[in-house]
Structure 1
């Protein structure tokens, strides 16, 4: 028999559903409470304020993305894994457009900051990228460099392209955009290759 979700879990699920459908502005204590069948005031027993609830949604989304990357990034060749990670990142952004925007672009208290949080391996979604870069350097596929600087060069290129696509700045179908995305990241990777 499946355990019933706690009130806090039910609130988080309802809040995330509102977020995914309508964006952060739709996540109000009243709407979340109505969705779960509790008063808005009752939510404060579980989340001290709206920002705490939004932060919990973002944290859960990062956990989900990290689990998705861990389960699906199966390529053993480091360069192939870099491409696979880029595809998984794009897939997540397409499936969770509003969450993706909030996770990576909205100012949030406690959001991880480069370089310290990343060098300390505090980002479960960036660590696989840095690991693939390090593996490619060890294998002689990429020239020796600062692993995190290279990982961020690749990451920011992917984030920028995805954000522009989601913002309607490309006159491409999704398959056309995917091909452009691969080609653009490929050019960057080619420039980083060991000679």
Structure 2
């Protein structure tokens, strides 16, 4: 088994705190305690708390993108698009603090639509836009701007998750998942060729 570097141990500890208790729990002191180093030692690897939090968010985006990428390029386009959004829901419900920080808190370093996305700076939305573009080229989906449709698609699913997380649904998780799945189906029906 590979031995972790100090930076990897710091990231793992910070991620654990973030995942369990939220962004406020990620203090240099608490991370250092978990790793068994002094708080000042963290600064050799991360210049400040914001850099550490950004890395956690970036790693989260990459994790989602990697799982989506597994579905890219093979099989039915509609099923692939549906699968990406179900994986998105799984991630959001399994890691609610990371989800909230990544998508619901204003951050100066957050990607902006359209320029950052069209420049392919989003590892997650790249997968969706590429799949949409493929579906449009193959005549499965109506011709449109794949980036605009990708943002519309993401806003729809994200909005549902945010509303559920805010207690705006009376459904338990199983019923919400069924509603969410059906809602994605309705959205996909609307963009079919």
> What TM-score, normalized to structure 2?
0.94
Matched residue SS, 2:64:
helix
Q: How does 1:1-195 map to 2 (within 5 A)?
A: 2-72=1-71, 76-194=75-193
Matched residue SS, 2:124:
coil
Alignment: residue pair count:
193
Deviation at 1:160, TM superposition (A): 0.4
Is residue 73–residue 131 contact of structure 2 (8 Å, CA) maintained in 1?
A: no
Matched residue SS, 2:17:
helix
Structure 1 unpaired stretches of 5+: none
Name the CA distance, whole Å, in 2 between partners of 1:33 and 1:70: 34
Structure 2 unpaired stretches of 5+: none
Name the CA distance, whole Å, in 2 between partners of 1:4 and 1:161: 41
Matched residue SS, 1:145:
coil
Deviation at 1:75, TM superposition (A): 5.2
> What TM-score, normalized to structure 1?
0.93
Summarize deviations over 1:91-137 as a string: whole Å, max 9, x none: 11111111111112222232211111111111111111111211221
Matched residue SS, 1:126:
helix
Is residue 60–residue 98 contact of structure 2 (8 Å, CA) maintained in 1?
A: yes
Is residue 55–residue 108 contact of structure 1 (8 Å, CA) maintained in 2?
A: no
Summarize deviations over 1:64-86 as a string: whole Å, max 9, x none: 11112122557511111111111
Is residue 64–residue 91 contact of structure 2 (8 Å, CA) maintained in 1?
A: yes
**Are residues 74 and 58 of structure 1, via their aligned partners in 2, closer, same or farther at CA, if it must alter by over 3 Å?**
same
Matched residue SS, 1:87:
helix
Superposed CA RMSD in Å reads 1.5
